Amino acid sequence: MTEKNEIDAVENETGAKRNSDTSNIIQYLSFVLGKEEYGVDILRVQEIRSWEPVSRVPNVPFYEKGVVNLRGAIVPIIDLRERFSLSKPEYTPLTVVVVLQTGSGSHTRIMGVVVDSVSDVISIERTDIQSAPDFGTKVSNEFINGLVSVNERMVMLLDVDKLLLLEVLEQNDY
Amino acid sequence: MSIDMSQFHQVFFEECFEGLEAMESGLLSLDIGDIDPEAINTIFRAAHSIKGGSGTFGFTVVAEYTHIMETLLDEMRDGRRQVTKQAVDVLLGSVDCLREMLTSIQNEEEVNAQSVAQHQAALETELNGSSSTPSAPAVSAAPPVAASVEEEEEEPEIEEEQGWKISFCPYLNLLRTGNDPVRLFRELSALGQLTANVNIQDIPNFNELDPEECNISWELVLVGDIAESAVREIFSWVEEDCELELSPLAKPKKKKKPKAAAPALIASPVVAETKDVASAAVVAPPPTTVVKKVPTEAEAAKNAPKASSSIRVDTDKIDTLINMVGEVVITQSMLGLIGENFTMDKVGQLKRGLAQLERHTRDLQQSVMNIRMLPISFVFSRFPRLVHDISTKLNKKITLKLVGENTEVDKAVVELINDPLVHLIRNSLDHGIEMPAERIAAGKPETGTIELKAYHRGGHIVIEIIDDGRGMDKSKLLAKAIEKGLVEESAIMTDKQILELIFMPGFSTAEQLSDISGRGVGMDVVRRNIQSLGGNIDIISELGKGSTIAIHLPLTLAILDGQSVAVGDETYIVPLVSIIESINITEKMLNKVAGKGETFKLRNEYLPIIRMREIFNVKSGAATKPNEGVIVVVEGQGALCGFLVDELLGQQQVVIKSLEANYRRVEGVSGATILGDGSVALILDVPGLVRLSVC
């Protein structure tokens, strides 16, 4: 009897979780670029790695650092700090690469983004997300999903698909 | 327990399509007037096995249709019928029709009854109309075919007993082969309770009766719990000499229609009504007329696997592969033994073992790659038909010559090269070869020639399409390009550049659009497709004499031999096949050409130098002067060129990884690979780099 109750309890819990997932709470991984804090949908994060030297790819924008071997797949590394012109890029063993997945089009791509440090996993109510104001030129509004305030800090939520899709779009202009 | 036939469907379809191809190429190679009996035999055999197979699998539509073709071919084979161009065309049409039928059956779609009826009517007209042995009564008795195609309402019949209904229609020659139906029946009755009904409506008038011919057929009902295979086994000796249909009694089933198996040879004037035992439906089958019905049997309706990508491999290749795997296993266990209690004095042994392992791994890799290799004839074999059809349509006389059909290429290449080739050949047919009158006026033989040629050169396969047609008019090309605003009027272009204009999107010089070509989409797509395969395409054309289009393609898309080179701190891979030689140069071999950069003199040629450091903006590492580095002389797109690199590192086989999978295409780079230390090195796209530096 007690056993059954336990199972029920577990089921209720997972059920509740699922409900909350589908309703209002989204989890984000937040990271720091310079002095600013950004967040990406945690379901898009495949893994977090430490910085390792990349193989440079010639004649691409400066913020595309190159490619690395991720268990047999060739994965490009993009320095978000340079992409957003935020901080002078320094590469130490503590520099972090967040490997993100994106489902642009029919197939998924994997891409690594360099950030200064990963800070937290934050749970956000959908209703707490404010739309982003116009930033002007530095960060185009396009890949900012919205803003959210966490413990008095402002976190900018990035749209991974758009962020990574942009790289592909540029290729056509390039 | 009946065998689940659907598992063999895939193989059956593959074999059928192969058979159709064999028939097609056989038909096309038939020389009207001078018939090679062996060629007809080949066609006949292909038709026969399709008929046999489709009968076995219950695709009666196909079996019955093929039967008519077979009859026609049989008469040709025996010399009772002249092989005419018209007959060949009709047969070609029916090959198409069969292919259509098989494709729809494979995709579980309804067979297009109308087109089948059309082709069948054509076949029958051919069969009856110009037969050397007239069979007038049969012709007049033939009902309109279209009518007989209609699906008839049938009542499912359910019986309590288990058992089989067997429809057994022996061919005329059954008795001559020494088989006696009575003996078969005796065997059958040993299995269960046998009831036999005999159909005698095919027996001719007494004065025409040949006692050695078997003119009767049977409907047998065999009651009892008997395996299908057991029944089939009894008939296995006469399989080739009869029409055999088995259907279980217990299942509700649609009626089968007996068919007159009598070939037109003894056209029977007796056209009686046949009583079908199973459903009492009445049909009147005159000889050589077959009633069509979409197969609705449970078997045929079973889900056939959708066409999946498969490959037929020579057993020799598999044997080699298994041998190689055996070698690898042996070496591995040897190494394991050494490692178990390793002491320093075993280092020599270890090294030898590792060397062996390396060799075996390479061999293994080679044999695996070999499995993917297919002869290019897979692609080429479709073209004789294409040429035949289009030249007939255009009223041109054209022969197609195939050279080097056995050249092997990677399966992926075979699959992707087909469409571009079709396009190019259509172009040659439509624009290249002139009308016969025009050719004669130009002093050329009336019949034009298109040569399709494949051969290996270096690590590439070269496919050439050579025609002796009118060639391309360069001044016309240039004028058109200027008119369309694709080129500046003042532009000075080499002949080669002008010819390459045809690859520009939206470029067509055809005065008139036809359904064959001329819309100006196409050549750019062709080039893009070929480039996406890592190949390139060249044109040579001489006005009035003809054009040659050469396609260079890599043999395989997965692995290449590479030379790693150092540029600054970076490592790049140069495909070994494109390297001619590597040399050190001295200051006095260098020459500056104003505006165009540096050249160096290699023997008697001046070759441009591409500084890798500059073209790739390498900043790391100490810069080297040309005379300190190494010049790697490469060939790309027919032009020689020297790459200046800092150092040659070593040769190795590299596995090509796509950059585009997660990233994008990068100019001058064809892919990436992972080096022994786990880092990524980029593979240079030599033709692309040459182009990059020249532009």
Q: B657, A73: Cβ pair inside 8 Å?
A: yes
The pLDDT mean for chain A works out to: 76
Domain B559-694, CATH 3.40.50.300 — does that match? no
Q: What is the mean pLDDT of residues A142-166?
A: 80
Q: Are strands B639-645 and B605-611 parallel, antiparallel or unpaired?
A: parallel
Place of tokens 């690199």: B645
- Take residue B297 and report the two structure tokens written for it: 């049997």
DSSP B266: G
Closest CB from A55, A76, A107 relative to B682: A55
3 state SS for B629-658: CEEEEEEECCEEEEEEECEEEEEEEEECEC
Q: Name every chain B residue with its beta carbon within 8 A of the beta carbon of A109.
A: 661-663
Pick the residue from chain A with its C-alpha nearest to B572.
Answer: A55
The shortest C-alpha distance from A131 to chain B (Å) reads: 30
Single-letter residue type at A27:
Q
Of B617, B658, B679, the CB nearest to A58: B617
Cβ-contact B204, B270 below 8 angstroms: yes
Cα–Cα distances (Å) from A114 to A31, A97, B106, in that order, read: 10, 5, 51
Residues of A with CB below 8 A from B678's CB? 69
Structure-model confidence comparison of residues B540 and A93, the more confident one: B540
What mean pLDDT do residues A134-163 have?
A: 77
> Residue B130's closest CA among B122, B118, B142, B120?
B122
Q: What angle do CA B609, B614, B615 make, to 5 degrees?
A: 80
pTM of the predicted structure, to 2 decimals: 0.47
Are residues A74 and B657, on separate chains, in Cβ contact within 8 Å?
A: yes
Interchain contact, A57 vs B682, CB within 8 Å: yes
Gap from A126 CA to chain B (nearest CA, Å): 30
The 3-state DSSP class for residue B118 equals helix
Q: 3-state DSSP call for residue B509?
A: coil
CA distance B195 to B219: 8
Q: Encoding tokens for residue A4?
A: 């059954």
CA-CA distance, B487 to B481, in Å (whole number)?
6
Bridge-partner residues for A161, per DSSP?
none
Would you say how long chain A is, in residues?
174
Using a CB–CB cutoff of 8 Å, tell me whether A55 touches chain B: yes
Find the residue in B nearest to A102 (Cα): B662
Structural domains present in chain A: 26-173 (2.40.50.180)
Residues whose CB falls within 8 Å of the CB of residue B640, separated by 6 or more in sequence, listed in order? B580, B602, B605, B607, B633, B634
How far A174 CA lies from chain B's nearest CA (Å)?
Answer: 10
HSE-CB at B621 with a 13 A cutoff on CA atoms is 17
Report which of B407, B481, B452 is spatially closest to residue B550, judged by C-alpha positions. B452
Report the largest interatomic distance among the alpha carbons of chain A, rounded to a whole angstrom: 68
Q: With a cut of 50, say whether residue A121 has pLDDT above it.
A: yes
Q: Are B11 and B82 in contact (CB under 8 A)?
A: no
Other C-beta atoms closer than 10 Å to the C-beta of B177 total: 13
**What residues in A contact B659, CB-CB < 8 Å?**
57, 67, 74
In whole angstroms, give the CA distance from residue B289 to residue B273: 13
The verdict on A78 touching B (C-beta cutoff 8 Å) is no
Residue with tokens 């078969």: B184
CB B142 within 8 A of CB B289: yes
Q: Which residue has the tokens 């007996």?
A: B258
Residue keyed to tokens 């034009």: B448
pLDDT for residue B564: 92
Contact A167 B664 (CB under 8 A): yes
- Judging contacts by C-beta atoms under 8 Å, the chain B residues touching residue A62 are none
Hey, of A46, A56, A167, which one would you mutate to test binding to chain B, going by the most B CBs within 10 A of its CB?
Answer: A56
Map tokens 């007809």 to a residue. B40
Contact B262, B290 (CB under 8 A): no
Decide if A57 touches B, using CB distance below 8 A.
yes
- For the record, the structure tokens of A13 come out as 């819990």
**Residue A69 — φ and ψ, nearest 5°?**
-95, 110
Report the C-alpha gap between B216 and B200 in whole angstroms.
5
Query: Is 3.40.605.10 the CATH classification of the domain at B5-149?
Result: no
pLDDT for residue A5: 47
Gap from B575 CA to chain A (nearest CA, Å): 18
B655 to chain A: closest CA residue: A72
Q: Which residue of A has its CA nearest to B676?
A: A69
* pLDDT of residue A29 exceeding 90: yes
Distance CA B420, CA B529 (A): 7
Output the 3-class SS for B398-463: EEEEEECCCCEEEHHHHHHHHHHHHHHHHHHHHHHCCCHHHHHHCCCCCCEEEEEEEEEECCEEEE
Out of A55, A59, A171, closest to residue B680 by CB = A55
Spatial strand order of the sheet with A109-115 comes to A45-50, A96-102, A109-115, A73-79, A64-70
Residues of A in contact with B663 (CB under 8 A): 57, 67, 74-76, 109, 111
| Residue A169 contacts B where some CB pair is shorter than 8 Å | no
State how far the Cα of B157 lies from the Cα of B249, in Å rounded to an integer.
Answer: 9
Residues of B contacting chain A (CB within 8 angstroms): 570-571, 615-618, 657-659, 661-669, 672, 674, 678-682
**Chain B partners within 8 Å of A55 (Cβ):** 570-571, 672, 679-682
Tell me the torsion sign for CA atoms B17, B19, B24, B25.
positive
CB B653 within 8 A of CB B362: yes
The pLDDT, as a whole number, for residue B659 is 80
Rounded CA-CA distance B98/B127 in Å is: 17
DSSP-derived letter for residue B153 is P
User: B307 to chain A nearest CA, in Å?
Assistant: 22
B-proximal residues of A, 132-161, CB under 8 Å: none
A-B interface: how many C-beta pairs under 8 angstroms? 69
Domain regions of chain B by residue span: 5-149, 163-286, 315-371, 375-554, 559-694
Instruction: State the smallest CA–CA distance between residue B577 and chain A in angstroms.
Output: 23
Contact B72, B126 (CB under 8 A): yes
Q: Which residues of chain B make contact with A165, given a CB cutoff of 8 A?
A: none
What pLDDT band is residue A26 in, cutting at 50, 70 and 90? Answer: confident
> For chain B, what's the residue count?
695
Residues from chain B that touch A168, judged by Cβ atoms under 8 A, are 664
Nearest beta carbon to residue A55 from set B658, B661, B679: B679
Q: With contact defined as beta carbons under 8 Å apart, do B245 and B256 qualify?
A: yes
Quote the minimal CA–CA distance from B657 to chain A in Å: 7
Q: Which of A148, A168, A60 is nearest to A106 (CA)?
A: A168
Burial of A133 (0-12, 13-18, 19+ CB in 10 A): exposed
What are the chain B neighbours of A110 within 8 Å (beta carbons)? 662
Strands B448-457 and B398-403, bridge-based pairing: parallel
Count Cβ atoms below 10 Å from residue A83 Cβ, excluding itself.
20
Where residue B631 falls (left for φ over 0; alpha for ψ -120 to 50; beta otherwise) is beta
Q: Which segments of chain B have a pLDDT < 50?
A: 1, 131-160, 251-307, 512-513, 515-520
The pLDDT of residue A48 is: 92
Answer yes or no: CATH 3.30.565.10 is held by domain B375-554. yes
Helix (H), strand (E) counts: chain B: 21, 24
Pick the CATH number of B163-286 from 3.30.70, 1.10.10, 1.10.3470, 1.10.730: 3.30.70
Contact A28, A39 (CB under 8 A): yes
Q: Computed over its alpha carbons, how large is the radius of gyration of chain B? A: 33
Q: What is the ipTM of this complex?
A: 0.76
pLDDT at B283: 40
Q: B231: which residues sit within 8 A by CB, 6+ positions away?
A: B164, B166, B188, B191, B222, B246
